[in-house]
Amino acid sequence: MSCAESPRVPEDWKPSITVTYGPYRRSIWSLKLWQHDQWRISSVVRFLKLNGFDVNLIHEKTEDDNAPGLLLITDEFDTELFACVDFQDYTNYMDYLKDLETFKVVFIENYYKIYREN
């Protein structure tokens, strides 16, 4: 079968998505403490589920100062659709909204580039 004859991905098919997230630093009374919850990625997970993706969560428990708030989105074939080492590390809500919008744009661009243009 040549490239011209390769089957296309069905329009209604979507890959399973894995969301890998790490701990983030939070300031409490001028102390920086590691937080290991899903609160700061809940909007990402909600966005993916509302767009019809099956989502699996993996918590990377390593407290790494070089990746304070890791967020990695991959498909079931381990293709990276979005990556940010400090997604959950922000000082105010407006920064969070900006990061969330960036995630949405980059994720959709990468998804369409991989699955819809082929």
CA distance 28 to 91: 12
Residue 37 maps to which CATH number? Answer: 3.40.30
Spell out the residues 6+ positions from residue 54 whose beta carbon is closer than 8 angstroms to its own: 14, 16, 17
pTM for the structure as a whole:
0.85
Q: Which residues of the chain have pLDDT under 70?
A: 1-10, 117-118
Is 61 within the bounds of a domain? yes
The separation between the first and the last C-alpha atoms of the chain, rounded to the nearest angstrom, is: 15
* pLDDT of 45: 97
Does residue 104 sit within a domain? yes
Render pLDDT for 73-104 as a digit per residue (tens, 0 to 9): 999 999 999 999 999 988 889 999 999 999 99
Distances (CA, A) of 21 to 11, 33, 79, 91, 110: 29, 17, 16, 18, 19
- Give the containing element (helix H, strand E) for 75: strand 71-75
Domain annotation covers residue 41: yes
Count of domains in the chain? Answer: 1
